Structure 1
């Protein structure tokens, strides 16, 4: 596929606000997980919580959209000059030629939970009687309204692959001539439905998660927001590139990947073919690596049988926790930072490597030029996505 430029990008997570906070934490191998202090009855686990969301209401003109999820999105949109970049993109192409394509798995469900806790004679309390909140489309609607964008506005909710798949949606819309640029990304915030839901599946670890460790015992849930602007490379100098993507759905099980990783491998092969590259061309892979038994088992075997030892690979969920619908964009941003800084992130949390892991695994931070990188995002139901990125020089 013709490469697309990533004109701007940003992220907020438990590691901090903005790209530099993430780069500093990754360089120091400093994680952001902490004992759970969220919800009315906190579970005994660790979470990746973003500080200050409760104290950052939206501007008065956006009050009808106010909730934790949209607050976190707004925080991220105000960093790294991203809001100005969105406005400049709107001016360059026109409001109707810029799409808003965002992924989320829970949207503003936290506000809906609060409303049901405080029902007033069976009705939503007055302060939460705002229909725009209680819908899976709340996030994308909010961002489009905040920046007065009039192009296609789409919510992707495919669990943990949501905010990776939006890059694929952007490429198709640009290639078909429907738009000239897209704001892509996603946001997911902590809420009881997620914490207790994953706990009921016996997937939440009582300690910080340990991706690809032989003794791993579950995930740590986090929250994050991230965004990027994707457009044709003409007129965009020295920007990192989206050179390929792959998507697949194995539909093997509601919450367990195919035991041979067939869906994940289809997505990976699709991304490599679309990018026109071979496994040996890949310098780094940001793995999905949730620290659940099955995901890490399948992904470790896939990487070990596909890539040479020179390819480096690691999961960064030990830094941030699993941010669910925001994982795709957060880890895409981390992958782009790894390329920018020539630094492979550590696989934080693992001290006893799973024997299925091959020599590709980077257990500790490494300095290495990264020209081409992949980012894996695998969701429940076997809904898989893989993104391929490259330096601007790759286009030549």
Structure 2
């Protein structure tokens, strides 16, 4: 595939609002998880909540979209000058040539929970002011972002569980390559709600401590919430048009193994297929990957399956799961972790796996002559040029993204030019 430019990106999560707060937390190995105090959630678990989401005032002309998920989306859009960047790009390309691709799993289901608690005791009717289409509907966040910028290009929501926020990159890429749009807002937004908390509790997947991905004592997930966005467009002609710290989308890999409704394929075959496709579309060899942001949910089966997939292709590549810091943000996780991967590239560092203290030797964290994993326990500087980010969801919906720095593209162009000169 032709590389695409992430010309701007931003993230808001329990680590803080915007890139500076996120970067500072990752570098200092500071997590944002806290004991669960979410409304009416009487559960012994930890969550990654974004502070003061409900206090965010909705823009007056978008009041019909008011719900926690869209408030979180709006909060994320105004960080790091992202909204101004989109507005300038839309003026340049035209409102009909900018697409919107949003990932989410539960969207504004909290609004429906509130509505059910207020239904008429005699008829069971929901409150007259309840707006399902603008809040709970999975498309709600895509419609909200599209309306926020008055865009007229194609817009869609992807709800493929925990791969949603990564799969949007693939959808946007296909639209751009087909010539249907020139650029796209991609991202993921998922917010806390009782359905999610009690749903994962019923599956016995919630940890009573802050989650510990790939740890020998890992015992479940911590649920978080986030809003993360990137603006992607074609790479401008000429190396001088790119900043030194520009980040590129080099490859996308998707698979659907459909092994089980909630458990991954035990041998990680679907995950491996997604990684292999990402490498192939990027034209990147496994040894060129400098860091892997693992899906790493901290459940016994998920981490075991991912370790098999990664060890089949990589040997000693530095890796970590940042869910120990952010919690598992579900449909937003792929977008949030793509932004984290972009930050790692831009600032040349490998983020540590927060909360993990003893990587499980059964998952390959030993040098036994076979392919092994290098799970990073201390954030460190690294000369990164290409990184991989994994996102794997329920039902075997898998997506891997490969991001690279602009100097890699410059090197490839230079090599291509030299080869052409030699042939001439």
Q: TM-score range by the shorter chain?
A: over 0.9
Give the structure 2 partner of residue 390 of structure 1.
404
Give the structure 2 partner of residue 73 of structure 1.
73
SS at match of 2:110: helix
CA contact (8 A) 2:64 2:131 kept: no
Distance, in Å, in 2 between the alignment partners of 1:131 and 1:385 is: 28
CA contact (8 A) 2:269 2:309 kept: no
State the Cα deviation string for residues 32-59 of structure 1 (Å, max 9, x = none): 0000000313211000000010111212
Give the structure 1 partner of residue 97 of structure 2.
97
**How far has the Cα of 1:322 moved from its partner?**
0.1
**How far has the Cα of 1:204 moved from its partner?**
0.4
Give the structure 1 partner of residue 288 of structure 2.
281
Q: In the superposition, relative to structure 1, how do residues 253 and 130 fare at CA in structure 2: closer, same or farther (>3 Å)?
A: closer
Distance, in Å, in 2 between the alignment partners of 1:265 and 1:226 is: 25
Give the structure 1 partner of residue 139 of structure 2.
137
Give the structure 1 partner of residue 189 of structure 2.
187
Give the structure 1 partner of residue 414 of structure 2.
none
CA contact (8 A) 1:8 1:82 kept: yes
**How far has the Cα of 1:232 moved from its partner?**
0.2
* RMSD of equivalent CA atoms: 1.1
CA contact (8 A) 1:165 1:385 kept: yes
Give the structure 1 partner of residue 153 of structure 2.
151
Match of 1:215 among 217, 220, 238: 217
Q: TM-score, normalised to structure 1's length?
A: 0.98
**How far has the Cα of 1:77 moved from its partner?**
0.1
Match of 1:241 among 248, 252, 257: 248
Give the structure 2 partner of residue 379 of structure 1.
393
Which 5+ residue runs of structure 2 have no aligned equivalent? 365-371, 411-424
Q: TM-score, normalised to structure 2's length?
A: 0.91
Match of 2:234 among 220, 232, 235: 232
State the Cα deviation string for residues 58-80 of structure 1 (Å, max 9, x = none): 12111111100000000000000
Give the structure 1 partner of residue 376 of structure 2.
362
Q: How does 1:217-366 map to 2 (within 5 A)?
A: 217-234=219-236, 237-238=242-243, 239-309=246-316, 311-355=317-361, 356-357=363-364, 358-366=372-380
State the Cα deviation string for residues 277-312 of structure 1 (Å, max 9, x = none): 110000001000000111101112222232132x21
CA contact (8 A) 2:319 2:373 kept: no
Distance, in Å, in 2 between the alignment partners of 1:59 and 1:366 is: 41
Q: In the superposition, relative to structure 1, how do residues 129 and 371 fare at CA in structure 2: closer, same or farther (>3 Å)?
A: closer
Q: Does 1:199 align with 2:206?
A: no
Give the structure 1 partner of residue 369 of structure 2.
none
Q: In the superposition, relative to structure 1, how do residues 130 and 265 fare at CA in structure 2: closer, same or farther (>3 Å)?
A: closer
Distance, in Å, in 1 between the alignment partners of 2:130 and 2:322 is: 36
Q: Which has the larger radius of gyration?
A: 2
**How far has the Cα of 1:126 moved from its partner?**
3.2
SS at match of 1:81: helix
CA contact (8 A) 2:104 2:157 kept: yes
Give the structure 1 partner of residue 418 of structure 2.
none
Distance, in Å, in 1 between the alignment partners of 2:92 and 2:126 is: 42
CA contact (8 A) 1:64 1:130 kept: no
Give the structure 2 partner of residue 57 of structure 1.
57
SS at match of 2:231: strand
CA contact (8 A) 1:156 1:165 kept: yes
CA contact (8 A) 1:284 1:370 kept: yes
**How far has the Cα of 1:360 moved from its partner?**
2.2
**How far has the Cα of 1:264 moved from its partner?**
0.3
Distance, in Å, in 2 between the alignment partners of 1:337 and 1:171 is: 21
CA contact (8 A) 1:76 1:225 kept: yes
